[in-house]
């Protein structure tokens, strides 16, 4: 039986080569480097209403309203270690110098309401504290999704995003 299997592998080596390559790429993507490398981004979460987007990795001068993809480095990685460097796709709602305020879990940037901070996560039902009131420091961004369940800067466990964690500006396609 084992001998038959190895004869099959030998005859169809090209199929097994493809399988090994796919598994190797998946392993690297999941456990070694989650950073996307292709100019096409597929969003599989409901955090934004777009599924496919093009990434400009050379973009500079990120502004409020830009869609960005960044490598997650927030404090939540201590609780959810799998989040470290995972690509997140969000909208920049606040830039350096903007004032973030919170009233009754409603989050405001420069006096404009940008969202409501839920009390608990959907996963593990952990308590969520809203972001602290602050002026956004240089080289940081307040980012947010459009879904009320989006895991973003509304929460202190996620926090602001460092400019050097931003991988590129995203142009949504659909």
What digits encode the pLDDT tens for the residues 21-49?
Answer: 888 877 766 666 666 667 888 788 888 89
With helix as H, strand as E and coil as C, how does 12-57 read? CHHHHHHHHHHHHHHHHHHHHCCCCCCCEEECCCCCCCCCEEEEEC
Cα–Cα separations (whole angstroms), residue 100 to 16, 17, 69, 158: 54, 52, 21, 15
Cα 167 from Cα 148, distance rounded (Å): 24
User: Which candidate, 48, 81, 54, places its Cα nearest to that of 151?
Assistant: 48
pLDDT(170) > 90: yes
pTM, 2 dp: 0.80
Tokens 């995203």 label which residue?
170
Residue 27 confidence (pLDDT): 73
Q: What is the DSSP letter of 131?
A: P
Burial-class residue 172 by CB neighbours within 10 Å (0-12, 13-18, 19+). middle
Residue 97 confidence class, pLDDT cut points 50, 70, 90: very high
Q: What is the mean pLDDT of the chain?
A: 89
Task: Tell me the longest C-alpha to C-alpha distance in the chain.
Answer: 72
Residue percentage of the chain with pLDDT more than 70: 94
Mean pLDDT in residue range 93-109: 98
What digits encode the pLDDT tens for the residues 146-160?
Answer: 999 999 999 999 999
What digits encode the pLDDT tens for the residues 63-84?
Answer: 999 999 999 998 898 888 888 8
Burial-class residue 109 by CB neighbours within 10 Å (0-12, 13-18, 19+). buried
Beta carbons of 139 and 96 less than 8 angstroms apart? yes
């Amino acid at each position: 039986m084992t001998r038959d299997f190895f004869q099959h592998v030998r005859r169809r080596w090209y199929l097994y080569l493809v399988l090994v390559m796919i598994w190797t790429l998946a392993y690297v993507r999941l456990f070694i480097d989650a950073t996307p490398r292709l100019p096409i981004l597929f969003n599989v979460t409901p955090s934004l209403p777009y599924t496919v987007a093009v990434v400009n990795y050379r973009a500079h001068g990120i502004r409020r309203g830009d869609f960005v993809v960044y490598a997650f480095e927030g404090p939540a990685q201590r609780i959810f270690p799998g989040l470290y460097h995972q690509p997140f796709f969000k909208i920049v709602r606040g830039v350096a110098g903007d004032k973030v305020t919170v009233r009754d879990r409603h989050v405001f940037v420069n006096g404009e309401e940008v969202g409501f901070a839920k009390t608990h996560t959907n996963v593990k039902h952990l308590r969520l504290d809203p972001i602290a009131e602050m002026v956004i420091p240089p080289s940081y961004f307040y980012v947010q999704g459009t879904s009320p369940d989006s895991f973003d800067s509304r929460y202190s466990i996620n926090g602001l995003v460092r400019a050097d964690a931003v991988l590129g500006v995203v142009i949504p396609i659909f």
